[in-house]
Amino acid sequence: MKDEPRPHPLRDSSADVAAVRRLPDTPQTRAPAYRLAFTDRDFLMREELRPVRLQLELLKPQMMMDEAGIESTIVLFGGARIPAPDAPAGTTDARPPALRALSPYYEEARRFAFVMTGRSLATGGRQDVIMTGGGPGVMEAGNRGAAEAGGRSIGLNIVLPHEQAPNPWVTPELSFNFHYFALRKMHFLMRARAVAVFPGGFGTLDEMFETLTLIQTGRMRRIPFVLFGRDFWERVVNWPLLAEAGTISAQDLTLFRYVETADEALAAIRDWPAA
């Protein structure tokens, strides 16, 4: 029989929180100085506490994913503005034709996540769990495909001026929110077994290049890295010119592969050379 965890010998902090609430209401107990430091929101928001907030934002998702048994992830990056092919009439009419033309990638992301989640379920849902940025567009498609397959998926949202909310397909207990972009990026890659990048904008480009840089420089082991949509990516980035100019090596062009469909991406990940 597994041993029960031994109780901690020191008084639990929640007991002190409850005790403070029972104290008489006096000028002394109302004073900010009297608040327990870990319950003092004004104190925690001070500039000097930024390193502590960074640590908390690293620890909270890490601990919760550990407790949920998440061992590895499949990361989907892609545009928040790419509409679903089945979007209600009129919702995409105001979007540029070139953006509407990218809507098939929503369905490819959805199918990719659906099939990958089916494989994840064979591991008890611990391996190859779909992870997205938690928002709309391609992110929604990834979480949606996972939910439709009957599995869990992770959403890493971030507080933005336009108040991006989690899409409804993210598993609620795996729906995280971030203040720091840097910590969010770390969590995207800490458990990643493969990365799939769909057409997108600044955020997608940022995530794509940061990941490729980490792999190129050996700060991250080489993992399957697929780009959906050769035509889009070759028009956005002149990869051969970078190699010709010597700003990257020709070998760096092998860090990723182009795919067009979910089936091609699944095959590329399956056949990826061992690191």
Q: Is the pLDDT of residue 1 over 70?
A: no
User: pLDDT value at position 161?
Assistant: 84
Cα separation, 221 vs 214, whole angstroms: 8
pLDDT of residue 87: 75
Radius of gyration of the chain (CA): 22
Q: What's the pLDDT tens digit per position in 108-154?
A: 999 999 999 999 999 999 999 999 999 999 999 999 999 999 999 99
Q: What is the pLDDT of residue 164?
A: 73
pLDDT exceeding 70 applies to what percent of the chain?
95
- Going 227 to 232 to 234 to 236, the CA torsion angle's sign is negative
Give the span between the Cα atoms of 192 and 199, in whole angstroms: 20
Angle between helices 181-190 and 50-67 (to 10 degrees): 30
pLDDT > 90: what percent of the chain? Answer: 87
Q: Which of 92, 132, 89 is nearest to 110 (CA)?
A: 132
Least confident of 157-161, 179-183, 201-205, 207-211: 157-161
What region, left, alpha or beta, does residue 128 occupy, with left being phi > 0 and alpha being psi -120 to 50 degrees? left
User: What pLDDT score does 191 carry?
Assistant: 98
- Spatial strand order of the sheet with 225-228 comes to 175-178, 153-158, 129-132, 73-77, 192-197, 225-228, 257-259
pLDDT at 163: 61
Domain spans of the chain?
48-271
Given a cut of 80, is residue 4 above it in pLDDT?
no
Question: Residues 31, 35, 41, 43: is their CA dihedral positive or negative?
Answer: positive
Q: What pLDDT score was predicted for residue 202?
A: 96
More confident residue, 76 or 164: 76
pTM of the model: 0.91
Q: Looking at residue 96, what is its pLDDT? A: 87
Predicted local distance difference test score (pLDDT) of residue 129: 98
Residue 93 is predicted with a pLDDT of 62
Which tens digit of pLDDT belongs to each residue from 13-58?
Answer: 999 999 999 999 999 999 999 999 999 999 999 999 999 999 999 9
| CATH code assigned to 48-271 | 3.40.50.450
Q: What is the pLDDT of residue 2?
A: 56
User: Are 51 and 106 in contact, with CB atoms under 8 Å apart?
Assistant: no
Q: Is residue 257 classed as helix, strand or coil in its secondary structure?
A: strand
